[in-house]
Structure 1
């Protein structure tokens, strides 16, 4: 009996090893491309002066024969470090499997990417260094930030947008978010969804995402159990803007807010409860 158990265990380990090797081999080519692009970016950072093309586009005279403008001098400061992300944007992949998503994010023609993907079993895939700019947020904005890709880390959840999230996914998401928050001092209120920054265009991570559970761990805002009605002078669109929502399309902003905080309400009409929730969050945001 023991012999059979040991044999079975050996087979499981071998299958795991072979699977891991196959995965590495499958993405070996894209990993090489990633490394090459990082090297190219490093070379760009080393250049002290704007390139002639950039200067010409800005209406500036081109450098002289030595490649330096006489009225332009480089003096390297000693006070700098890497730019750091200040937001985490949560998504669902809206695809059928983790392998489909990995393929999508490693094809140049798709022009989409993220920093992390978490599959249904809770495995975390990192696709990009946190300091690099992934293409996950698209044409989104939050408050005064109009280039969310440059200010955020994108985390994709392996989910088709309809099914519930799994416990291993959420558990490991919480671990990842705790690490990101600690590493980059990301404010609690800056953990938001793709649907929040792109109302009317995106809905992820969807109505099944456990925002309250995340907020209880310090990732995102949530409203109190005891609410009060807002004063009659309270303008709900102002409240949405203070939270960060783009209200140029008011209906879309209201639906995005409700999808995050009150998913059982599916219309753009303000109910007394929805107004009380918004007012509570507005007070929280303005007193941070």
Structure 2
């Protein structure tokens, strides 16, 4: 009897060690991929209102859609594991392509060509469906702590690969707060945007900022940069969170106006 119990105990331990902690999410991921494969393979056409039934003739000239933006977030959670759990529960309805931990570990959670749910109700310029054209990167950070060197180094390495692989424009590497100024403030004021820009990821103001013309339209300038200016106060705050991190408010002082003009000229 003791021998049987010992054998059962050993088998249980071995089985538990070999169990993937996110087996259910892997199963769901594969199931959804099969569903997408079926849709992509379908050659069924839909009749039009005028009674015409389109004929299917396959073209040979096509490829996958590619991302054109990279959106950087902080998780606002306390650990990498907590974030992974959040992104593997169907009820949360949120995800990202990559999560980077404080120690620099990188976890990829979705193929780059697939649409993650990371931007929410957001826009940049005329693009009102950011999720369909972007890669979402989440940084393991609760929003009040500095970003570690290891984490930023991994982010720079990841940005280097993504920018090169998908030919993403430098100015299209932006923040969650940029695309959703009334709702979001991530990544936090502690995020090193200047360091990223100096490395070729995103734009930054000149060392010597020129004075904006007297007739410079600030609201129009922010709109041309990409901001949704329907709530102008929020757009100004989001701009300063990115470019003037020592003064995150909606005050349009000369420094703010001139910085907006400088970034506007780089578009």
> Is TM more than 0.5 here?
yes
Report the CA distance shift for 1:24/1:211 in structure 2 as closer, same or farther (over 3 A). farther
Give 2:127's aligned residue: 145
**Cα distance in 1 between the residues matched to 2:230 and 2:200:** 29
**Cα distance in 2 between the residues matched to 1:23 and 1:174:** 34
Give 1:253's aligned residue: 235
Superimposed CA distance per residue, residues 80-102 of structure 1 (whole angstroms, 9 cap, x where no aligned partner)? 00000000000000011111100
- 1:266 corresponds, among 223, 226, 248, to 248
Contact 2:170 2:201 in 1 (8 A): yes
Output aligned runs, 1:195-206, within 5 Å: 195-206=177-188
- 1:221 corresponds, among 184, 194, 203, to 203
Q: Does 1:41 align with 2:36?
A: yes
Contact 2:102 2:140 in 1 (8 A): yes
Report the CA distance shift for 1:72/1:251 in structure 2 as closer, same or farther (over 3 A). same
- 2:109 corresponds, among 113, 121, 127, to 127
Q: Does 1:237 align with 2:232?
A: no
**Cα distance in 1 between the residues matched to 2:18 and 2:248:** 41
**Cα distance in 2 between the residues matched to 1:197 and 1:240:** 12
1:267 deviates by 2.1
**Cα distance in 2 between the residues matched to 1:250 and 1:151:** 25
**Cα distance in 1 between the residues matched to 2:173 and 2:19:** 31
1:24 deviates by 6.8
| SS of equivalent residue, structure 2 residue 71 | strand
Gaps of 5+ in 2: 1-15
- Alignment length, in residue pairs? 253
Report the CA distance shift for 1:153/1:24 in structure 2 as closer, same or farther (over 3 A). farther
1:60 deviates by 6.8
**Cα distance in 1 between the residues matched to 2:255 and 2:229:** 20
Superimposed CA distance per residue, residues 92-118 of structure 1 (whole angstroms, 9 cap, x where no aligned partner)? 000111111000000000000000000
Q: TM-score, normalised by structure 2?
A: 0.91
**Cα distance in 1 between the residues matched to 2:168 and 2:254:** 32
**Cα distance in 2 between the residues matched to 1:283 and 1:32:** 48
Gaps of 5+ in 1: 1-20, 62-68
Q: Does 1:29 align with 2:11?
A: no
Output aligned runs, 1:1-288, within 5 Å: 25-50=20-45, 59=49, 71-285=53-267
1:266 deviates by 2.5
**Cα distance in 1 between the residues matched to 2:192 and 2:124:** 21
Q: TM-score, normalised by structure 1?
A: 0.84
**Cα distance in 1 between the residues matched to 2:147 and 2:18:** 24
Report the CA distance shift for 1:235/1:104 in structure 2 as closer, same or farther (over 3 A). same
Report the CA distance shift for 1:260/1:172 in structure 2 as closer, same or farther (over 3 A). same
1:276 deviates by 1.2
Superimposed CA distance per residue, residues 239-277 of structure 1 (whole angstroms, 9 cap, x where no aligned partner)? 101100000110000000000000111221111111111
Q: For the aligned residues, what is the CA RMSD?
A: 1.7
Following superposition, which runs of at least 4 residues in structure 1 exceed 3 angstroms of deviation? Answer: 21-24, 58-61
Report the CA distance shift for 1:240/1:197 in structure 2 as closer, same or farther (over 3 A). same
